[in-house]
Structure 1
Amino acid sequence: MLGFSIYLNETNDTISKKINHMKSHGFSVIFSSINLPEYNKVQVDDKINFLLSIIKNMGMKLILDVNNVTVNEYSIIEKIAYFDLTSQVYLRLDDGFSLEKIINIAEKNQIVLNASTLTTELILELEKQNLDFTKVLACHNYYPREDTGLDEKYFQTINKQLRNKKIKTIAFFGNSDATYARGPIFSGLPTLEIHRYSHPLVSAINLLEKYNCDYAILSDLGLSNEMLDQFDYYFCEKTVLLRVTEVNFEFQAELLSTHCSRNDISKNVIRCQQSRRRNNGVIRADVYPKARVVGSVTLDNENYLRYMGELQITKIPLAADRRVNKIAQVIDEDLELLLYITSGRIFKFKIV
């Protein structure tokens, strides 16, 4: 399940538009915190009421980050009850909550515990109190400072322990693009260090499919419309959408067709299984064949005889070949997505 973050220093209009926009692209969970030091009390109180009213009307889930002080200072539990949102709001209980307080809150509310501090001992104590773990989530932190994100093996170990207790997990992916990165460090807000400068879609796929998280939440300020389209294609249509430049428009129709990777995966290239059947005309060889860098989109020409018309994407650098025409180039930001064009995967190109 995909989620995104709302920061309470944004205007109500910005928050409303953002929620509607992200929901239209399949993001169904909102994460927000009332613990950030730059917030003032009046601002937070107003924004919480506004956010809860939107959640109620739109049927979305909210994970609200609170601590032992702010949960009382802003009457959070009372507000959730007033809006009748106990089934839609999860309270992420930051440090400072006693075992007794956790149990008391969990009696009438869904809770999220800190995955990094949820020790085996605490889990055993919660079990003794008959806490229903089906109503509990565990959320990892995000890490603004470079080099401080979690190690993958440690992350996998923690998640495995939590899954064994039937506790669902949440992790964050960032967007280090200057337009959307949140300050003051502006280096992305990932849970895993390997995701700090990754394509956001790659990070989300990894969290959900490789590391088996139940929720992947965008922690930075947003995503471009082009990236949101890529999320739509992958999660709604099971299709990898690649942005390309350096297009030879003679072959635009073939380029913009829907492609499917062959079931037999090649080591050096991604091969389209339908393209040779689609290309019935003669494809003349380029006068000056081009070297093929990673992400080159190519079409075999008449010199490749029965292979003429085969579309490929290079996974490694390959030399120029008089039998192969280069017709486009996958942009650098999308090269990571080539890893997800697996056996039988649908893929498409978008000219930018």
Structure 2
Amino acid sequence: MALGISIYPEHARPEDTLAYLDRASAAGATRVFTCLLSAEADRATVEGEYRALSDAAHARGMAVTVDVAPSVFSRFGLAADDLSLFQAMHVDCLRLDEAFTGEQVAALTHNGAGLSVELNASVNDGLLPAVLANDPDRRRLQACHNFYPQPYCGLDLGFFEQVSQPFRDAHVPLAAFVGCTDHGAFGPWPLHEGLPTLECHRDLPLDLQVRHLQATGLVDDVLVSDCYPTDRELATVAALDPARVTLRPVLSEEDTDLELEILSGFPHQVRGDLSPYLFRSTMSRVAYAGRAFPAHDTRPLVEGDVVIVNESSARYAGELQIVRRSMPNDGTRNVVGHLGAGERLLLPCLTSWKHFGFLL
């Protein structure tokens, strides 16, 4: 899964943009998103600014996508098939924020300039099948969701899943946005309350937003929409393993060193026969057979509790479980951590044989 960032040259000093490109590239980012919808300068100025941005990104191994719409083509006097401005900008991909026809989009993918074309995945407008019916160059076709600056306007999770699945089924690469929680961060519009794709992500930590998108299995790339995340945020996000669901519990104070080892160092996988009450990772009980697991924190269990079976149940001692719904504790399960409300967004992403792990 590729990591991307967003740059808005009309709202930032060139030196700040270059510094951010350096930081992001060092953290492993390979994509840059930028937006022509909010650019108000004349063609020569816009062309020069965006060419400088593209060249700087390319020098750091990053590809550049620019957000456009029919209004952008009109503003600069371009026909729907005239890509001369974007060639002069040295960008790599055009994101079509507003719909062209399926025939137009498919034709654009066959452009001689080598530009890729990115569909807006958030609008549920039936464009994807129309494009596919018109024989696009599949190598140059991709998709990306919107971001939503205004609170309460981001996508519903169920709707996000619904509209993303057709792109996954068609093997069209798909990206989505995550936003910074610092309300001093900025994007292309004069609002400062985050720029997530999903409304449930607004105000969640950046790494949690990324972990959730990874866990859905629906997106190929994640783009940070605001300027500027911190170095620590970028490093944390870059270090995530997209091949497993990663959870960050609040730990219990009585956890033993052995329990912490099972949480942090053991490769967990959901057992294939799902219980309505528990996600079970059973191989830790095999790896740690015969070790001491004294009882502690055996309170009644609620959704999001992370437990390890103690030695009161010798056959199962050392097994790690995540509680799916409230249930009594017969004294055999030590509560070693708990997942807060945000972290519990990831629980529906766990299923039979799914690999998962913990950040401590």
Say whether the fold is shared (TM-score over 0.5): yes
* The one of 86, 92, 111 aligned to 2:95: 92
Which of 163, 171, 178 is residue 174 of structure 1 equivalent to?
178
Report the alpha carbon displacement of residue 31 of structure 1 after superposing the two structures with TM.
0.8
Relative to structure 1, is the Cα distance of residues 194 and 71 closer, same or farther in structure 2, using a 3 angstrom cutoff? farther
Q: What are the residue-to-residue correspondences of 1:1-352 with 2, within 5 Å?
A: 1-2=1-2, 3-8=4-9, 9-36=11-38, 47-66=49-68, 67-68=72-73, 77=84, 80-81=87-88, 85=90, 89-93=92-96, 106-110=111-115, 111-114=117-120, 116=123, 127=134, 132=137, 134-150=139-155, 168=172, 170-175=174-179, 177-178=181-182, 182=186, 184-193=190-199, 196=202, 199-205=208-214, 209-210=217-218, 215-221=221-227, 225=232, 229=236, 232-235=239-242, 238=244, 240-251=246-257, 252-264=260-272, 265-277=274-286, 278=288, 280-286=290-296, 289-351=298-360
Give the Cα–Cα distance (whole angstroms) in 2 for the partners of residues 248 and 26 of structure 1. Answer: 37
1:338: Cα distance to partner? 3.0
CA distance in 2, matches of 1:260, 1:167: 28
| Whole-angstrom distance in 2 between the partners of 1:68 and 1:279 | 67
Query: SS of the residue aligned with 2:18?
Result: helix
Taking structure 1 as reference, are residues 345 and 114 closer, same or farther at Cα in structure 2, changes over 3 Å only?
Answer: closer
Cα separation, 2, equivalents of 1:154 and 1:331? 24
Contact 1:138–1:169 at 8 Å: present in 2 too?
A: yes
Q: CA deviation at 1:230?
A: 5.6
SS for the counterpart of 1:143 is coil
- Kept in 1, the 8 Å contact 2:25–2:60? The answer is no
Whole-angstrom CA distance in 1 between matches of 2:201 and 2:46: 30
Q: Give yes or no for contact 1:172–1:219 (8 Å, CA) kept in 2.
A: no
Q: Give structure 2 stretches of 5+ with no counterpart.
A: none
For residues 101 and 343 of structure 1, the distance between their equivalents in structure 2, rounded to whole angstroms, comes to 42
Render the CA deviation track for 1:136-158: whole Å, top value 9, x for unaligned: 44544333234444567776776
How big is the shift at 1:200? Answer: 1.3
Structure 2: distance between partners of 1:169 and 1:154: 18
Q: How many residues align?
A: 337
Structure 1 residues 179 and 108, CA gap change in structure 2 (3 angstroms): same
Per the TM alignment, residue 32 of structure 1 is displaced from its structure 2 partner at its CA by: 0.5
Identify if the C-alpha distance between structure 1 residues 175 and 69 changes in structure 2 by more than 3 Å, giving closer, same or farther.
same
TM-score under structure 2 normalisation? 0.70
* Pair 1:206–1:258, CA change in 2 (3 A): closer
In structure 1, the residue corresponding to 2:12 is in which secondary structure? Answer: coil
Letter in 2 for 1:35: L
RMSD of Structure 2 on Structure 1 (CA): 4.5
C-alpha distance in 2 between matches for 1:18 and 1:206: 27
1:258 Cα deviation (Å)?
Answer: 1.6
Kept in 1, the 8 Å contact 2:67–2:96? The answer is yes
